[in-house]
A = this chain, B = another copy of it.
Amino acid sequence: MKDVRSILDQNAYRFDGTAGGQTDELVRRRLETVGPTSVLFYREPLHIVQGQGVWLYDSSGQAYLDVYNNVPSVGHCHPKVVEAVSKQMAQLNVHTRYLHDGIHRYTERLLATMPESLNRMVMTCTGSESNDLALRLVRHWTGREGIIVTEAAYHGNTTAVTEVSPSSLKQREPADHVHVIPISSMPSGSDEAGAWFEEQVRAGIERLDRAGFGCAAVLIDTIFSSDGIFADPEGFLGPAVDLLRDHGGMLIADEVQPGFGRTGNEMWGFARHGLVPDVVTMGKPMGNGYPVAGLVANQQLLELLNAEAGYFNTFGGSQVSVAAATAVLDILEDEGLQDNARVVGGYLKASLKALASRHACIGDIRGAGLFIGVDIVDAESDGQPDAETATRLINELRKNGVLLGAAGRSGNILKVRPPLCFTRENADLFVDRLESALIMV
Point out residues on A near B: beta carbons under 8 Å.
6, 8, 23, 26-27, 29-30, 32-41, 45-51, 56, 69, 71-72, 76-77, 79, 81-82, 85-86, 89-101, 103-104, 107-108, 111, 119-123, 125-129, 132-133, 135-136, 157-160, 162, 168-172, 283-284, 289-292, 299, 302-303, 305-315, 317-318, 320-321
Contact = CB atoms under 8 A, between A and B. Distances in A.
Given A40-B98, A48-B98, 18 more contacts: A23-B99, A35-B299, A39-B310, A48-B94, A49-B100, A77-B93, A82-B89, A85-B85, A125-B291, A126-B126, A132-B158, A135-B159, A136-B159, A136-B162, A159-B160, A171-B309, A283-B314, A289-B315
Contacts of A36: 120, 299, 302-303, 305-306
B95 A71 contact: yes
A307 to B, nearest CB: 7
Contacts of A317: 34
Nearest to A302: B36
Contacts of A303: 35-36
A103 B30 contact: yes
B291 A39 contact: no
Contacts of A305: 36-37
Contacts of A160: 158-160
Contacts of A95: 69, 71
Given A49-B92, A92-B51, A94-B76, A120 B159 contact: no
A37 B306 contact: yes
A29 B100 CA distance: 11
A168 B309 contact: yes
A97 to B, nearest CB: 4
Contacts of A123: 34
Contacts of A38: 96
A21 to B, nearest CB: 12
Given A6-B310, A126-B314, A46 B321 contact: no
B157 A313 contact: yes
Contacts of A8: 310
A121 B50 contact: no
A256 B49 CA distance: 30
A124 to B, nearest CB: 8
A89 B94 contact: no
Contacts of A90: 77, 79, 82
Contacts of A56: 92, 94, 98
A100 B284 CA distance: 20
Nearest to A29: B104
B89 A26 contact: no
A98 B26 CA distance: 11
Contact of A94 (B37, B69, B310, B311): B69
18 contacts: A33-B108, A34-B123, A35-B120, A35-B122, A36-B120, A36-B306, A39-B97, A45-B98, A47-B100, A51-B92, A69-B94, A76-B93, A125-B315, A126-B314, A136-B162, A157-B311, A159-B160, A168-B310
